[in-house]
Amino acid sequence: MTRKSALWLRGLAAAGALFFSLGAANADPIRIGIANFGEHPQLNAAIEGFKQALTDNGYEEGKDVVYSESHTNFDASLVPQMIAKLQAEKPALLFTVTTPVSQIAKKALAGSGIPIVFSAVTDPVAAKLVPSMEAGDEGMTGATDLQDIAAVMEFAKKLVPGAKRFGQPYNPGEANDVALLEKVKEVATNAGFEVVEVGVDNVNDIQQRIASLAGKADVIYTPSSNLLQPAIAAVAAAARQAGIPIINSDESAVNDGIVPASLAVNFHQVGMNAGKIAVDILKGADPKTIAPVNPAYEDHAPRISRKVMAEFGLTIPDEFADCGCIAE
């Protein structure tokens, strides 16, 4: 080979490398669909946490990844349409928020090749999203918002000394709520509580159903229910009339002066747990080999409103004096 030919080939190789480099730099960002049930502080925090996990792992929004977000304002009848719209955009992955959205997405995307990562799901096994908590299913896995109910009951005992009857409203039509009720019953005996359950399947029935707990419950725990949380102000108003303090699963209602206290899962962390799973899947992992992730004990935090406690005729016990969790 002549020196001139060698130089020409070397130049051609360099040009090819430059072309490949520019092509890679200008590659289209990965598209991820986000299917949410509705606008709510907890669910929004899960989405923020999900994005944060991807950013932390090198997926810069707008450059490496773009998100298509949609929600149905808690209207389950519109979820299939939302999923179809997101599927048509051919995302590399779909992030689903809440049990109803995840259940519908699983059926709609079966065999599509689009992996699904769920979040804000209390019991993915009961919801038939995964076969067990030891493994994902075909094309699906995710992160739960399962609260440590034993910790909630311990907190209730400290906040309302002498409380023995644990009021548990729930939506019979929501898998998350039913699964949580079963967990409450499971833990109650060892915690020294009698469970007083009340089904609420329509927001118009909240006043009547919560009022029915008057004289029957010493404290009420409101779960991260897709029916109860958006209507927490109505739940709290009915509980106030019944004279029963509420421990909520979301601290924003405490900060807003609606309920006396909360012991809440950090939904931003729940979203981050899901985001870390999504990163693994984007890098080639099979969802079926990834076990769903539960929040750790340290992912829970108490919050107490001094003002609302007083409105319920309660004072904050001294042991919370230095908790750093009191909203004035």
CA dihedral 130, 293, 45, 222 (to 10 degrees): 80
The residue whose two tokens read 């060698």 is 6
**Beta strands 65-71; 116-121: pairing state:** unpaired
pLDDT at 181 (0 to 100): 94
Q: Which of 75, 65, 125 is nearest to 95 (CA)?
A: 65
Whole-model pTM: value is 0.70
pLDDT in tens, 49-108: 999 999 999 999 999 999 999 999 999 999 999 999 999 999 999 999 999 999 999 999
Q: How far is CA 145 from CA 85, 135, 138, in A?
A: 26, 17, 21
Instruction: Quote the mean pLDDT of the chain.
Output: 91
pLDDT at 17 (0 to 100): 47
pLDDT in tens, 139-193: 999 999 988 899 899 999 999 999 999 999 999 998 889 989 999 999 999 999 9
